[in-house]
Amino acid sequence: MEGSPQNRLIFHIDVNSAFLSWECVYRLSQDPEALDLRTIASAVGGDASTRHGIVLAKSPLAKRCGVVTGEPLSQALRKCPDLVVVPSRFDFYIKCSRRMMKLLDEYTPDHEKFSIDETFLDMTGTIHLFGSPLNVANEIRERIKHELGFTVNIGIAPNKLLAKMASDFEKPDKCHTLFREEIPAKMWPLPIRELFFVGGAAQKKMENLGLHTIGQLAACDLDLLKAHLGEKYAVLIHQYANGIDDSPVAERDPINKAYGNSITLSQDISDYNSACQVLLSLCETVGARLRADHVLCSNVCVELRDWEFRTRSHQMALSEPTDSTSELYQYSCQLLKEFWDRTPLRLMGVRAGKISDEEFQQMSLFDDPKARKKKEFEKAVDSIRSRYGVDIIKRASFLQKDAVADHAASKKKHLNRNEDINP
């Protein structure tokens, strides 16, 4: 139910250190005496023995050592030599995410999945059934902790932007409000980089203008911002600094319509081979999820965001539905070659759309022995990874010394996109 911008009530739920928390849930479910990775310097990522891969999630102690999500594992280990690194277990993480979404369905049918570990709830039409906003948020937070075994932060606000900003306040396991009257005290004193959608390049340009806090940006002359940041981005970021965001909470790409994954890169990429390696890591996950749900896609889309936060995408319709990682990769590389001008990239994404049931292709598939063999092989790899961890089987290209990606990806960070990633 959509209310007017003045009376909407939005919750933003964000899982604390999602992959690490869910890994702990898995390990403790297997052995109640297992070490809780959240209590030590630890990370979910690649292979610690080869120092290969990227950091997908880190514990609070690892964060204090300077470990950053998305950075190469070798770099993280230099910062924190005692870092305990464990491989990812995507199939289980997806199950944890779905359990949380099912619990949240009890509070409102109006929600937008922002990523595998984040979602927006529009509580405007249902809050009267449960109580005051802060009490309801705390009830949700406690239920997730006790029923599902992990913690979340919840932001409470009149729009998605402010709700997301609020959920990023003190962590973990907290609820925070950010209503319009609270913006001057809670948001405006924050460093400008804390504002959603402010990247490194934009931060430098604004700091060169003498803008160091969100409040200074909010008070800045819009024409001055347009001259230095471009009209479209200047208007958007000025509105965000003033707490303005009218975007609706809407399930844009529910799981039965699209499967996507993306990664924010630890360093900009400008060469084609490195970009293709990232696409392969994304296609590994998307393909595995299609096969896990016994569905096929008839459309592939590649999304790019460059160092100046310009986002572009290119898609193609497939002649035959597929769930094959190798085919998704082939199509994605073709798309990349067609529309990328080598501008340095900071985010890459792959999305499979136009989903159909697997039975649609069974007859043609089994007329082709090679296709059947490929499908059986990929399913066998999925099964082994699900049981023993993603890094138990790797493609040779991921073992190269200078590999920029592993078969894993981090979560999206864009208010108006909803990809059930990610992984």
The answer to whether the beta carbons of residues 69 and 371 sit under 8 Å apart is: no
Q: Name the catalytic one among 23, 71, 112, 118.
A: 118
What is the rounded distance in angstroms from the CA atom of residue 294 to the CA atom of residue 65? 42
Please state, in angstroms and as integers, the Cα–Cα distance from residue 414 to each residue in 118, 197, 311, following that order: 11, 7, 11
Residue type present at position 236: L
The answer to whether the beta carbons of residues 126 and 85 sit under 8 Å apart is: no
308 has catalytic annotation:
no
What is the rounded distance in angstroms from the CA atom of residue 259 to the CA atom of residue 20? 22
Torsion of CA 216, 219, 225, 226, to 10 degrees: 160
Catalytic residue numbers?
118
